Amino acid sequence: MSRALSDLSVRGLGLSALVAGIALVAWAAFVGMRVRSGPQPCEPGMPAAGGRCCAPGQRASKGACSGVPLECPARLRKVSGSTPGCVAISEKIAISGGSALLGPVDWDGASVRSARIVLVRDFQMDHVEVTEHRYAECARAGMCPERPVREPGLPVSDVDATVAERFCAFAGGRLPTGAEWIFAAAGAEARRYPWGAHGLVCRRAAYGRVSGPCATGARGPDLAGIRSEGRTPEGILDLAGNVAEWTKDEDGRLALRGGSFASVAAASLKTWAEQPARTSGEAGFRCVYPAP
């Protein structure tokens, strides 16, 4: 009797070991599939292709999203017309002023430029980059130059600082100074990225989309305002990646900040980084306004 019970116990242990082994293999396969699937450049439900994230119902091809969207991501609305699409709802975010650290906060930037602290007053800032849809209002009013027809929800790109200033004046604002832009992106705590100290991943910022690491084939920026995980604590989106943004200091000095869809180095997406002031398909802008 005791021997029979012993045999059953051994068999039970063998069966348990077999089940555990199968579970381990299944888990390894699952993890392997996740690793091989690569980065996730779009929010759930948005198809990705050609370096773009499109709304449900649209097709991504050759760097563009075509077709009528069935629905739009949160905080975007559908617009119709000859070029339908999803457009970020315009919103101004209030920024309480304070001391802004202008310069690198980590060792890899300390050798590039030194840091200094300046005082920034209260202001408001567009929560996303100025879109083609919004810019068209200025063009229809005769205050801004006409532009080629593009997807309405894309940020304006390939624009120089003079045109950007004209739009901001039309909207009742101006271009941000470098200190204002950095303070909005980094906050009083001098964050390395707009969302925090770490976590530069593809779903937070539209970067590395021309030839990797986040996508391939991009020919321009992605829809403004669709990467909610990349927002600042105050709610400002796309301060890292998508289009580099014009800033203008009180002495007239121009710079581009924030990196773009074509950036591949993390250093170019940090809050203190700046790019040469030249017009290109990577250059866009947003405006700031007086405090309420």
Domain range annotation of the chain: 1-37, 92-290
Q: What is the percent of the chain where pLDDT is above 70?
A: 84
Show the tokens assigned to 121: 């007053």
Residue scoring higher pLDDT (167 or 48): 167
Counting residues of the chain whose pLDDT is more than 90, the rounded percentage is: 70
Residues 6+ apart with CB under 8 A from 82: 149
The per-residue pLDDT for range 98-134, each reduced to its tens digit, is: 988 887 776 555 555 567 888 999 999 999 999 999 9
Mean pLDDT for 21-33 is 40
**Looking at residue 112, what is its pLDDT?**
53
Sign of the dihedral through C-alpha 256, 257, 260, 263: positive
Residue 260 pLDDT > 90, yes or no? yes
- The runs of H, that is alpha helices, within the chain are 2-36, 107-110, 132-140, 161-170, 178-186
- CATH label, 92-290, candidates 3.90.1310.10, 3.90.1580.10, 3.40.640.10, 3.40.50.150: 3.90.1580.10
Selected residue with higher pLDDT from 282 and 13? 282
Average pLDDT over residues 282-288: 98
Assess contact for 206 and 221: CB atoms under 8 A.
yes
- Residue pLDDT, tens place only, 220-235: 999 999 999 999 999 9
Spatial neighbors of 260 by CB under 8 A, at least 6 apart, are 207, 221, 241, 242, 243, 244, 275, 282, 283
Question: If you average pLDDT over every residue of the chain, what do you get?
Answer: 86
pLDDT of residue 81: 87
Q: For the segment 190-214, what is each residue's pLDDT rounded down to a tens digit?
A: 999 999 999 999 999 999 999 999 9
The per-residue pLDDT for 20 is 44
Give the residue, 31 or 126, on which the prediction is more confident: 126
Q: Give the model confidence (pLDDT) of 140-173 as tens digits.
A: 999 999 999 999 999 999 999 999 999 999 999 9
pLDDT, tens only, 57-98:
998 888 889 999 999 998 999 999 889 999 999 999 999 999
